[in-house]
């Protein structure tokens, strides 16, 4: 397959940025190798719907080989990249050496526990499919245990759910968890008093959804409170032993479940590469998205620190996708010896859903909350899913849940 | 909830028999407790479609609490029954004691390795959801490893798949595996030569689908061969170390994957109870399905040995469901001091699918193979799924696979 004279471009990571890059590069007269630790592309924005039992894994995870089977010049390799030798232009995938002419580094992000080991060990992250399934199993199992727990102190602790982080992931998780518990499970545990359930959203700053305008932040908090979520702002978490969550104020909350959505950092591959990094381990690239000392190496997405308007860009999918476009154009430009393009991010706005009929949307001058925002959120997310079958099945499940107040992925696996 | 004068009936197991029993009992003026190790009811006949990446877990697993939420006199308890004290009429669920007035034991079956430890340790059973997901991950992962394995001996071993057992589970697994590999994956591994793939169905007796008439057995073998499955009859397996499968003849087949569908036995709970058992650990019950020494205790389903026409009934869902009906009628009869009914199994026939357009159906005088049998198989299985949403989603996935030769649950989780 691989012809000798074709440049070989390696793309590390098959997230939003990596997949876009591999597909765009495949239109050039090059050979592309796409590497990922997993054999699937993950639609991370809906991961919290796996952990709250609305969607199953294959609704939001798509086999990478199925995505690239029409692009005959892309080879997929499942494996972990453990080292990159920029001088030799080689990298190690599970101890096998692969050489490249050009490289795009797009390993994505991982949960940032800010060095708090006890929290890393005992709380649940929400960045990977396995984490989401583990969290789903855990939540459902706590209700089963609570259903026959006679000690009220233990029962309260089993029924207390803390979500740390008031960003989109935290807000959406708290809202979805509330609906799972109060709209679905409340009908099915006759021995439980659901007044004993506590869902707390904890945020260190004085606002939720910091990127949103103030009116939408307030609408979000109001909706969360109506869904029986306690919103605690200006509260920092310092320790969690699996039973007791300690706040900076000294307050202790007994709980079996802490969901950590309070930060992300660059994947460990990015953080360990030679070169300059920011405090989140992100690679600092030049205005063309190249590593300053290695013009044949580009880095994109969550693993990259890129300043615009004196602030680093957020770690979100639209940034990764736009950077993939520019990185690929610049590789084409290098191949044809043209000038490179500088990267500029075009803000596409943001949205978050708090639950049924409730979302907030901020796009340019459009600021919406409530039912209309929720409808927009649904359509945008359905359209962004990978293929028609997934869209169709997810749509069916959402419609089903909406009308029948039912979540059928409440399956506890792997005990 | 529980009134003092209501008899308390405990049902152990929420398989086909246990669920039917709990629902039927709920119509009496009694309190029912349904106990299962899992929080879901599993539609086992389609388990092989999870292991071969057509269906996801929630398509064939349904939350038990959702199934019984309208029956207010059924309480569900998730847990493992570790002991039953027939004299005291109590049982232990995860070390909590529960007392009963009547008991229905329906713990189901488990894989029978016939005491061959090396096979139990290294091969894959197909009786639980976790086993099916583990097998799916394993098969997909072997293809990823093979895709860059340069040593042809190792590659052949990675690409050799042995299914042991020529009953419905073995036949359906081999057929589904063949279609996964030759119709779906063959398009997506450009570096692999699919002529190197081997699927072998091994059966100790001289026939497959022993309960079927001879003409359908022959049709089954013909279809399997057309699907590139080697069918090896009169072959016994004696040892498997994870790398090399040893046959009784001394032949050794290097393989990374042995799927064991060669036998089932009663669940361990049944086998360890006091009383008489057969060689598969099944409880021997009287003609009313009672334990001979304990008339208030009934046992049904795979865990029971019941002779009819001088042969024990097979371990299949229709037997369990019909026994549940009779056991419940007999409990009602005991409560109203009427005579008990003797159990008689009415044969509903059997069917198995080998793949697209290919199935065999044996129902009374109706003996069918080919497209029409396949259509019948599809409709019967769709109708038996628990609720409309599951039917709809499974139907969508089957239609999708049929027309697009695609299996989208090819997701490797938990590495």
Tens-digit pLDDT profile for residues B21-60: 999 999 999 999 999 999 999 999 999 999 999 999 999 9
Asked if B63 reaches chain A (Cβ–Cβ under 8 Å), the answer is yes
Asked whether residue A343 is domain-assigned, the answer is: no
Counted across chains A and B, CB pairs separated by less than 8 A come out at 124
Q: Which of B130, B133, B141, B148 to mutate to test the interface with A (most CBs of A within 10 A)?
A: B148
* pLDDT of B4: 56
How high does pLDDT run on average in chain B? 95
User: What are A336's two structure tokens?
Assistant: 């044809």
Range of the domain at B221: 117-262
- Decide which of A335, A353, A379 is a domain's last residue: A335
Q: Which of A77, A406, A410 to mutate to test the interface with B (most CBs of B within 10 A)?
A: A410
* pLDDT of B2: 45
Q: How far is B34 from chain A (nearest CA, A)?
A: 13
| Stretch B271-291: mean pLDDT | 94
Active site residues of B: 172
- What distances in angstroms separate CA B215 from CA A24, B167, B173, B349, B367, one per listed residue? 54, 16, 21, 15, 9
Asked if A62 reaches chain B (Cβ–Cβ under 8 Å), the answer is yes
Q: How far is B47 from chain A (nearest CA, A)?
A: 14
Q: Greater confidence, B95 or A166?
A: A166
Residues A320, A248 share a domain: no
Residues B223, B160 share a domain: yes
**CA neighbor of B240 nearest in space, from B158, B118, B111:** B118
DSSP string, B315-369: SSHHHHHHHHHHHHHHHHHHHTTPPPPPP------EEEEEETTEEEEEETTEEEE
- Whether residue B176 is predicted with pLDDT greater than 70 in this model: the reply is yes
Q: What is the signed CA dihedral for A314, A320, A324, A326, rounded to 10 degrees? A: -20
* pLDDT of B399: 87
CATH code (residue B170): 3.50.50.100
Interface of B with A in 30-59 (CB under 8 A): 38-40, 56-59
Q: Helix, strand or coil for residue A69? A: coil
Residues B279, B151 share a domain: no
3-state helix, strand, coil in chain A (%, to 5): 35, 25, 35
- What distances in angstroms separate CA B17 from CA A40, B323, B380, one per listed residue? 38, 7, 18
DSSP secondary structure code for residue B124 in this structure: B
Is the Cβ pair B75, A1 closer than 8 Å? no
Asked whether residue A366 is domain-assigned, the answer is: no
Residues A40, A156 share a domain: no
**CA neighbor of A226 nearest in space, from A137, A355, A351:** A355
Whether B3 contacts B26, CB under 8 Å: no
- Cβ neighbours for B352, distance < 8 A, ≥ 6 positions apart: B168, B171, B172, B209, B212, B220, B359, B360, B377
Residues B139, B102 share a domain: no
Asked whether residue A65 is domain-assigned, the answer is: yes
Asked if A196 reaches chain B (Cβ–Cβ under 8 Å), the answer is no
User: What are A137's two structure tokens?
Assistant: 């199993």
Residues B145, B193 share a domain: yes
Residue B1's pLDDT band (boundaries 50, 70, 90)?
very low
* pLDDT of B415: 55
Residues B253, B121 share a domain: yes
CATH code (residue A55): 3.50.50.60
- Cβ neighbours for A198, distance < 8 A, ≥ 6 positions apart: A156, A159, A160, A161, A230
Asked whether residue A200 is domain-assigned, the answer is: yes
Interface of B with A in 171-190 (CB under 8 A): 185, 187-190
**CA neighbor of B398 nearest in space, from B179, B129, B126:** B179
* pLDDT of A402: 87
Residue A415's pLDDT band (boundaries 50, 70, 90)?
low
Asked whether residue A150 is domain-assigned, the answer is: yes
Residues of A in contact with B408 (CB under 8 A): 58, 62-63, 66, 387, 389-390
Residues B180, B162 share a domain: yes
Q: Is B222 exposed, middle or buried, given 0-12, 13-18 or 19+ CB atoms closer than 10 A?
A: middle
Asked whether residue B98 is domain-assigned, the answer is: yes
Residues of B in contact with A71 (CB under 8 A): none
Residue A2's pLDDT band (boundaries 50, 70, 90)?
very low
Is the Cβ pair B408, A129 closer than 8 Å? no
| Stretch B375-386: mean pLDDT | 91
Is the Cβ pair B389, A406 closer than 8 Å? yes
Residues of A in contact with B59 (CB under 8 A): 56
Residues B322, B280 share a domain: yes
- Decide which of A262, A279, A306 is a domain's last residue: A262
| Stretch A74-88: mean pLDDT | 96
Residues A177, A255 share a domain: yes
Asked if A96 reaches chain B (Cβ–Cβ under 8 Å), the answer is yes
Asked whether residue A406 is domain-assigned, the answer is: no
Give the Cβ contact number of residue B69 at 10 Å: 17
- Whether residue A4 is predicted with pLDDT greater than 80 in this model: the reply is no
| Stretch B175-196: mean pLDDT | 96
Query: pLDDT digits over B300-352, tens only?
Result: 999 999 999 999 999 999 999 999 999 999 999 999 999 999 999 999 999 99
The length of chain B, given as a count of residues: 415
Whether B161 contacts B199, CB under 8 Å: yes
Asked if B366 reaches chain A (Cβ–Cβ under 8 Å), the answer is no
**CA neighbor of A236 nearest in space, from A263, A210, A205, A279:** A205
Whether B85 contacts B104, CB under 8 Å: no
Is the Cβ pair A389, B397 closer than 8 Å? yes
**CA neighbor of A66 nearest in space, from B302, B259, B181, B188:** B188
Helices (H) then strands (E): counts for chain B: 13, 27
- Pairwise CA distance, residues A21 & A25, whole Å: 6
Residues A143, A277 share a domain: no
Residues B129, B43 share a domain: no
Domain count, chain A: 2
| Stretch A189-199: mean pLDDT | 97
Phi, psi of A103 (to 5 degrees): -140, 135
Q: What is the ipTM of this complex?
A: 0.92
- Percent of the residues in chain A that have a pLDDT greater than 90, as a whole number: 89
Say what angle helices B317-335 and B16-25 make with each other, to 10 degrees: 30
Asked whether residue A364 is domain-assigned, the answer is: no
Residue B414's pLDDT band (boundaries 50, 70, 90)?
confident
User: What are B198's two structure tokens?
Assistant: 């081997």
- Pairwise CA distance, residues B321 & B108, whole Å: 12
- Pairwise CA distance, residues A150 & A161, whole Å: 19
Query: pLDDT digits over A363-392, tens only?
Result: 989 999 999 999 999 999 999 888 888 888
- Pairwise CA distance, residues B19 & B323, whole Å: 12
Q: Please, which contacts does A365-370 make with residues 24 or more away whose CB atoms are closer than 8 Å?
A: A367/A213, A367/A215, A367/A216, A369/A215, A369/A216, A369/A219, A369/A220, A369/A223, A370/A219
* pLDDT of A129: 95
- Decide which of A285, A312, A335 is a domain's last residue: A335
């Amino acid at each position: 397959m691989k012809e000798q004279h074709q440049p070989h471009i390696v793309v590390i990571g098959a997230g939003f940025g990596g997949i876009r890059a591999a597909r765009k590069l495949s239109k050039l007269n090059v050979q592309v190798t796409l590497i990922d630790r997993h054999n699937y592309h993950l639609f991370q924005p809906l991961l919290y719907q796996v952990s709250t039992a609305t969607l199953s894994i294959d609704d939001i995870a798509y086999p990478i080989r199925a995505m690239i089977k029409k692009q005959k010049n892309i080879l997929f390799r499942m494996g972990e990249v453990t080292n990159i030798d920029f001088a030799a232009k080689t990298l190690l995938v599970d101890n096998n050496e692969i050489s490249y002419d050009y490289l795009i580094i797009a390993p994505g992000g991982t949960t940032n526990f800010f060095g708090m080991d006890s929290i890393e060990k005992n709380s649940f992250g929400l960045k990977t499919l396995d984490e989401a399934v583990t969290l789903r199993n855990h939540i459902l199992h706590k209700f089963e245990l609570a259903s026959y727990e006679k000690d009220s102190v233990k029962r309260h602790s089993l029924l207390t759910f803390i979500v740390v982080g008031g960003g989109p992931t935290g807000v959406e998780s708290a809202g979805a968890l509330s609906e799972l518990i109060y709209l679905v499970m409340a009908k099915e545990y006759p021995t439980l008093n659901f007044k004993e359930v506590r869902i707390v959203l904890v945020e260190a700053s004085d606002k939720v959804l910091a990127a949103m305008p103030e009116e939408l932040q307030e609408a979000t908090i109001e909706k969360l409170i109506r869904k029986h979520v306690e919103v605690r702002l200006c509260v920092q978490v310092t320790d969690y032993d699996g039973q007791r969550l300690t706040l900076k104020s000294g307050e202790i909350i007994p709980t079996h479940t802490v969901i950590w959505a309070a930060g992300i950092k660059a994947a460990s591959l990015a953080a360990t590469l030679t070169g300059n990094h920011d405090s989140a381990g992100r690679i600092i690239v030049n205005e063309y998205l190249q590593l300053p000392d290695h013009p044949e190496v580009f880095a994109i997405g969550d693993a990259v620190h890129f300043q615009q308007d004196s602030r680093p860009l957020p770690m979100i999918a639209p940034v990764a996708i736009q950077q993939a476009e520019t990185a690929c154009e610049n590789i084409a430009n290098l191949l044809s010896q043209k000038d490179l393009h500088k990267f500029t991010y075009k803000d596409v706005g943001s949205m978050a859903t708090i639950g049924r009929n409730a979302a907030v949307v901020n796009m340019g001058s459009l600021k919406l909350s409530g039912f209309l925002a929720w409808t927009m959120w649904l359509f945008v997310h359905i359209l962004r899913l990978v293929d028609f079958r997934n869209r169709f099945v997810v749509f069916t499940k959402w419609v089903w849940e909406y009308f029948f107040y039912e979540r059928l992925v409440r399956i506890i696996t792997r005990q």
